Every structure is written in structure tokens, then in C-alpha cells.
Chain A
Amino acid sequence: MTPAIQIENLSFTYKGNTQKTLDQIHLNVSEGERYGIFGPNGAGKTTLINIMTGLLSYTGGSVKIFGKEVTANRKSVKSLFGFVPQDFSFYNELTPVENMEFFGAWSGLDKKKIGQKINELLEMMHLQDVRNKPVGKFSGGMKRRVNLAIAVIHEPRLLFLDEPTVGVDVQSRHAIIEYLKKLNEKGTTLVYTSHQLNEAEDLCNKIALIDQSKIIGSGPLVELLKRHHKYKLEDLFLELTGRAYRDGGV
């Protein structure tokens, strides 16, 4: 079976930098997995996600999504995945319906399909009552749900999630995680990054830990914990990455 993501020997250096942000990365994510990518600030997680989503161009190594090299097949690869950025990436002036209409069209859906998906997603995300109100007036949790709904409107096979629950209340976080699990049960592969490690334990069945530009540990979460004699992901994280502050560049 073709892996959802197959990364081989990927190295990446930002223009003007001498130090590599990613160095000799190898990663395999099988279809249907719930994969977590974790690491301290500045470890290279966001760079890795940006490369996988085609936001950054790479020259060294290979990155394939469902067997297609990202740089060579940008348009067809983009229709295979959805992306939930950490920022609220939508139009605050528009209603959830208007946002989904627009992003649905950009995701390649026709008007009829968009209409069907909007009703389904509004119900799933508990946004029916505010369907015609501008998103700018929503609470943080509601905005997070809109951010997620836009990313899944075209029913992608693979979903990238960058801190999808940051800054939301317990109820909204619970709803989002439950929705993601249901999505995964239907076959969507999840690639998730967050600093909420207890949430990650609940959601992910496989993880990769990145530090100092390299993957320092990867595999099924249960096996990794057992191998390092830890009970919690947070303890494993601290053992592998250390306790020193990682404030990144200023």
C-alpha cells in the first residue's frame, strides 16, 4: 500500500542561513494513521509541515504524498490533503457559510457539493445557529472549528493540523479531538503537531520527535514509551530533548 507520506533524506536550509533547519529527515506515514510530530520551539516542525504542504520548496531529498513527488505534482498533490494552520486563516468579515463557499470552490468542489458539505460541517461543528454571523465576532473555540471545517470541506485523504486546539476551552477541544478521531475512522490520515502533549497522547498512535534539525525518535507511541521506560509522552519528550530553554531566534 502506498504510504500517505514518504520522506527520504530531506535536508533544508533557509536562504541566508548557514545552519540546516532540517537535516537528513526520513519519515513514513501510512494511510489511516494518526501521526504526531513534536519538538521544542525552533526544532523544524513547522518547516517540515510547510515542505509537505508545498509552501516551501526543497532541493535536497524526496517528499512524496500518496506516491507523488510534491514539487513535481503541486496541483494534484494539493487536492489530496487539507491543512489546518495555527493562525485563523479565513475571512473575519464573512460568515462561516461564506468562508466555506469560497474555500470550497478553491478546493475544487462544485456549487452543489459545497452546499451539501456546508450543511454537514455546520452540524458536525455545532455552528448552525451562527451560520450567518461574521466569523470575526466568534469565540476562540468557534473560530478553531471554522478553521477545521474549511480544511476538510473537500474530504481530503490526508489532513495536516498545526496546533488545531491552541487557545480554546475544554469543550471545544474535546469536540475537535472527537471529530478528528471520527474523521480518522473514516480513513483520513492525520498529521498533527502541538505542544499539548496530553492531547497528543489521546489522539496519536504514532509519533516522531524532532530536535536540532533531526528526528531523534519515531515509531508507535506505546513502543516508544516502553522502550524509554516512561508512562507519559511529556516525560519521554523531556528525556529526549532535555530541559534547557528553547526560545528560538530573537
Chain B
Amino acid sequence: MKIAFTAKGTEWDSLIDPRFGRTEFIVIYDDEKNELFHDDNRDIESVAHGAGPQTAQKLFELTPDVLVTGNGPGGNAARVFEQSDIKIYVGANEMTVQEAFDAYKKGELKEF
């Protein structure tokens, strides 16, 4: 299973980026391979409009099973997720990726 996180860095101790569309990185943990990898999303800063759908599309192509984020996607991004089976969990604001992963495993995060 692959779990994606919106994050301000690329490591387990990086903070979760509470924003979805304008997240700096997408960090993905593959629990079968026990691998942590990431996608650099910082180009999004220069995009004036449509950050949500663009990041959602990118996430779609990374094919995670679960997304763990902070505030949750906005309306446009949520429309993209309607086309996918990705499960979204929100409320990981101010956690590290590790803490967010643990909270997800314990069922402490709210499903979007």
C-alpha cells in the first residue's frame, strides 16, 4: 500500500504541509517495499490559479491508496478525487510525517 503525505520536507521528521494544492512536497511511503520517496511540488508557488486540480492530478499519477493531509483539498481538487479511489484523511496539521503516519495507523485522523 502507498500512503501519500503533503509535507514541507522530504523526510519522516518533516512537518506536514497543511495545504493541499500548494503543498511543497508530496512524500510517499510504500509499506511493501518499506521505501520513502517524494515528489517536489514547489513549482506550484508560481501558479496563480488552479493549484488544487494540478496537484490533485499529480497525486493521481503517483497512484497512492491513501492521502494524509492537513486542511483537506478545496472544491476543485475534491472534484478530481471524486474520479479516484484514493482515501483522504485530514487533520494532520502540525504533525511530522512520522506522527501523521502513526495517527493514521491508530485511526486518529478524520476521513475527508
A and B found bound together? no
Report which B residues bind A (CB closer than 8 A).
none
